[in-house]
Structure 1
Amino acid sequence: MKLRIDHKSHVPLHLQAEELLRNLIADPQYADGKFLPNEVDLARELAISRTTLRQALNKLVYEGLLIRKKGIGTRVAESSVSSKSKNWLSFSQEMKARGIPIKNFELHVSWAYPDEAVANFFEITTQKKVLKLERLRGRPEGPFVYFVSFFHPRVGLTGEEDFKRPLYEILEKDYLVIANLSKEEISAKAAGKFIAGKLEVEPGSPILFRKRFVFDQGERPIEYNLGYYKADSFVYTIESRRE
């Protein structure tokens, strides 16, 4: 693959380098654990400083797309999907931003009576039906996550929406509901028979289980989401900053 930086472009050099590195990562020549050219050779080929190149490399290491080992080199991370907790994007938007193609294997919409956990979160009774959205999603070659979402009746969803669109885009553009705050609980558990069947793993296999509680700008509850992830296909990254 021919690598080239446009030194006359208004786009900063480190951003151009980052885009080139993303293209390298997507190239079958470097996919799934292959080492990139060493920094000295790569910086020389691009006619940029190693500092500029490292700025681009560090961004992709942080995103989990590259793995760097001192004295060994930088290689492409094997194909697991990474998600950051500090990232207000829907799953579709986040995967698109990372260049990861996503396929919907199943999509079911229904109206259901909430259990006590959902009803208590929404502060409604268990006798009031809520919209339930179930989605089995993953790469084209197979599913790796099963989502179950419940929505507060106040949001106004009818069930007729095109849920192939990004969820938070639907809420914001169609219903003027802005998802502003997310609180999450993450744990490991063994897959039951139902979830194992969805994710195409053996019952009892380890999975990542995430509860997400989503609030609007007034900190009113709008979504109760459960996510079941294949443990060998997904990495959940948490960013913390000391104040």
Structure 2
Amino acid sequence: MKLSIDHSSPVPLHIQAEELLRKMIEDPEFRNGKFLPNEVELSQQLEISRTTLRQALNKLVYEGLLVRKKGIGTKVSEKTVSSKSMNWKSFSQEMAARGIPIRNFELHISWVKPNEDVAHFFEIKTDQKVLKLERLRGRPEGPFVYFVSFFHPNIGLTGDEDFKRPLYEILETEYNVIATLSKEEISARAADGFIAGKLEIDTGSPVLFRKRFVYDQADKPIEFNLGYYKSDSFIYTVESRR
């Protein structure tokens, strides 16, 4: 793979280095656990300082795309998906932006009476039915996340929508509902028999559990989402700025 940086470009060198590293990660030569050239060799080849190169490397280590082993080198993460909590998108949009191919293994739609948690969030009664969307998703080789979403009845969803499309795109283009705010609770738990069966893991295996509360531009609740992720296939990163 030919490596070069345009030193005459107005784009900062560390940004160019970051984009180049992203391309290297997807190259079969380096994909899935293979080591990158060492920092000295790579910085010389790109004609940039090791400090500039390390700035780019640190960004990708933070995102979970690279793993740095002290005294050994930096290698590409092995089949790990990373999600960031800042500037959030729908799952489909986020994975597409990262160039990760996603397969839908299951998709189920039903109308159900909400439990107390869902009804409380939507500020409705428990006898008022809501649309429930269940999706088992992952890479082509196997599932790594099981989602359960409930939608406020005021949105107007019918259940006939094409939920293979990005969810928030459907809400915005067909119902003029724009998902603006997401509040999340993240924890670890042991998979029960149902979740273990969905994710093809052993009962009792650790899973990352994420509860997401989604609001529109007027801060009205629109979606109550539960996500169960295989712990060895997913990294959830949080970025804070002060």
Q: Same fold (TM over 0.5)?
A: yes
Superposition deviation, residue 26 in structure 1? 1.6
Q: Which amino acid in the other structure matches residue 193 of structure 1?
A: G
AA of the residue aligned to 1:138? G
For residue 87 of structure 1, report the CA deviation from its aligned partner: 3.2
Greater shift, 39-48 or 147-156, is seen at 39-48
- The Cα shift of 1:218 comes to 1.5
Residues 68-217 of structure 1: matches in 2 within 5 Å? 68-217=68-217
Paired residues, number: 242
Secondary structure of the equivalent of 2:132?
strand
Amino acid at match of 2:32: D
Shift of 1:5: 2.5
Matches within 5 A, 1:59-74: 59-74=59-74
**What's the C-alpha RMSD, in Å, of the aligned pairs?**
1.8
| Structure 1 stretches lacking a partner, 5+ long | none
The match for 1:47 is 47
In 1, Cα distance between equivalents of 2:146 and 2:87: 20
Residues in 2 aligned to 1:185 and 1:107: alpha-carbon distance in whole angstroms: 24
Q: Secondary structure of the equivalent of 2:177? A: coil
Per-residue CA deviations over 1:35-66 (Å, capped at 9, x if unaligned) read 21112211222233333322322221121111
Bigger mean CA offset, 132-141 vs 73-82:
73-82
* Structure 1 position 12, deviation (Å): 4.0
2:178 and 2:85 mapped to 1: Cα distance? 18
Amino acid at match of 2:22: R
Structure 2 stretches lacking a partner, 5+ long: none
- TM-score by length of structure 1 reads 0.92
Equivalent pairs: percent with the same residue? 76
Q: Distance in 2 between matches of 1:7 and 1:238?
A: 32
TM value normalised by structure 2: 0.92
Paired with 1:193 and 1:119, the residues of 2 have a C-alpha distance of 26
Distance 1:17 1:240 in 2: 23
